[in-house]
Amino acid sequence: MVTKVLFFGAAADAVGERSVEIAELAGSTAEEAIVRLRNAYPLLANQKINISINQEYAPPNAIVDDGDEIAIFTAVSGG
Amino acid sequence: MDFWELTTDRIKINDVARRVVPPECGATVTLDGYARRFTTRDTKVIETEYLVYEAYEEMALKEMQKLVERAKSAFAIANVGIVHRTGRIEIGETSVVISVAAPHRKDAFAACEWLIKELKRTVPIWKKEVYADGEAWSEGEAAE
The whole-number average pLDDT for the span A43-63 is 95
Closest residue to A71, CB basis, from B54, B59, B96: B59
Are the C-beta atoms of residues B97 and B32 closer than 8 Å to each other?
Answer: yes
Give which of B92, B74, B95, B76 is closest to B84, Cα–Cα.
B95
Neighbouring-strand partners of residue B130: B50, B135
Per-residue three-class SS string for A26-63: CCCEHHHHHHHHHHHCHHHHHCCEEEEECCEECCCCCE
Distance CA B133, CA B120 (A): 26
Contact B124/A52, CB-based, under 8 Å?
yes
Distance CA B61, CA B64 (A): 5
pLDDT of residue B144: 47
Q: Helix (H, G, I), strand (E, B), or coil: what is residue B78?
A: coil
| Among A50, A52, A73, A76, the residue to mutate for chain B (most B Cβ within 10 A) | A76
Are the C-beta atoms of residues B123 and B67 closer than 8 Å to each other?
Answer: yes
Q: Which chain A residues contact residue B119 at CB under 8 A?
A: 78-79
Confidence of residue B141 (pLDDT cuts 50, 70, 90): low
How many interface pairs between A and B have CB atoms less than 8 angstroms apart? Answer: 79
pLDDT of residue B27: 96
Distance CA B16, CA B20 (A): 7
Confidence of residue B140 (pLDDT cuts 50, 70, 90): confident
Say how far residue B103 (Cα) sits from the centre of its chain. Answer: 22
Q: Which residues of B38-60 are buried (b: 16+ CB within 10 A; e: fewer)?
A: eeeeeeeeeebebbebbbbeebb
Strands across the sheet containing B125-131: B87-90, B50-55, B125-131, B134-137
Chain B residues 79-108 with CB within 8 Å of chain A: 84, 95-96
For residue range A26-45, list pLDDT tens digits in order.
999 999 999 999 999 999 98
pLDDT of residue B142: 55
pLDDT of residue B41: 82
Q: Helix (H, G, I), strand (E, B), or coil: what is residue B46?
A: strand
Q: Which residues contact B31 (CB under 8 A, 6 or more apart)?
A: B96, B97, B98, B99, B112, B115, B116
ipTM score of the complex? 0.95
The whole-number average pLDDT for the span B79-85 is 98
For residue range B26-54, list pLDDT tens digits in order.
999 999 999 999 988 889 999 999 999 99
Under DSSP, the state recorded for A63 is: B
Could you tell me if B27 lies within 8 Å of chain A, comparing CB atoms? no
Q: Helix (H, G, I), strand (E, B), or coil: what is residue B3?
A: strand
Distance CA A24, CA A30 (A): 13
Under DSSP, the state recorded for A43 is: G
